[in-house]
Amino acid sequence: MALRVTFVAAAGSSTVLSERFEDSRPLDQAGWSEVQRVAHELLPLAAADLRYCSPAPRSRATGEGLGYAPLVQLALRDCDMGRWRGLTLGEAMAREPEAVDAWLADPRSTPHGGESLLDFIGRVGNWLDTRPAEDGCRVVAVAEPSVIRAALVYALKAPPGTYWNIDVRSLSTISVAGRPGRWSLRLESVSAQPLRA
């Protein structure tokens, strides 16, 4: 057996187009409704040996709302976006179009004065690699979609540009299993019932 880490994407606090870099807004009523709607499906994850969340308000609220009583992990914070913090992508593009283009094209770039995509992926990957490696240990981590994308790129040893091609929906789950430096994506069936022909 290997360590299994299940990521739960924080409930949304806005529409996708109004998502902000390092969004520090609390979970709104629509987000709370989302949590209540799926809580019965995600509640079994509360039995994990270790339960964590990112420090973002909506991640903490999602974890608490699902009954996980998660421990905040600073390493699971969103990418440091420097002077773009709190802006939407459209707002950053309107202010600094060439800088945004450079940031999207080069995972090492930091035109915003914050953290590069490469460093962000490495930070989240380091957190993943330093989880207790006991056989069969189950971990649940509630985090922002960006953090989960970074974890998946790291776990799969994919090129950094792959980050932009991963779509993580609010309250979706994905698991990785393995040991430090050796992770596999794990997709699990929703039901143990066999399919009918």
pTM: 0.89
Res. 197: pLDDT tops 80: no
Averaged pLDDT, 49-57: 95
Mean pLDDT of 52-61: 94
Q: Tell me, what's the pLDDT at 13?
A: 64
Dist. CA 31–CA 15, nearest whole Å: 10
Residue 191 has pLDDT above 70, yes or no: no
Element (H, E) at 92: helix 89-95
The Cβ of residue 94 has, within 10 Å, a number of other Cβ atoms equal to: 11
Tokens of 70: 């998660």
**Cβ atoms of residues 51 and 74 within 8 Å:** no
Query: Is 38 a residue whose pLDDT tops 60?
Result: yes
Residues 6+ apart with CB under 8 A from 110: 82, 103, 116
pLDDT for res 105: 93
Terminus-to-terminus CA distance in the chain, angstroms?
Answer: 33
CA 96 to chain centre: 26
Q: Dihedrals φ, ψ of 196, to 5°?
A: -95, 145
| Residue 14 reports pLDDT greater than 70 | no
From the DSSP assignment, how many helices (H) and strands (E) are in the chain? Answer: 6, 6
Closest CA to 148 of 140, 196, 108: 140
What mean pLDDT is predicted for residues 76-92?
90
Q: Average of pLDDT values for 176-191?
A: 81
* Residues 123, 156 contacting (CB under 8 angstroms): no
In this predicted structure, the answer to whether residue 122 has a pLDDT above a threshold of 80 is yes
Per-residue confidence (pLDDT) for residue 10, from 0 to 100: 94
Closest CA relative to residue 67, chosen from 49, 93, 96, 44: 44
Q: What is the DSSP letter of 26?
A: P
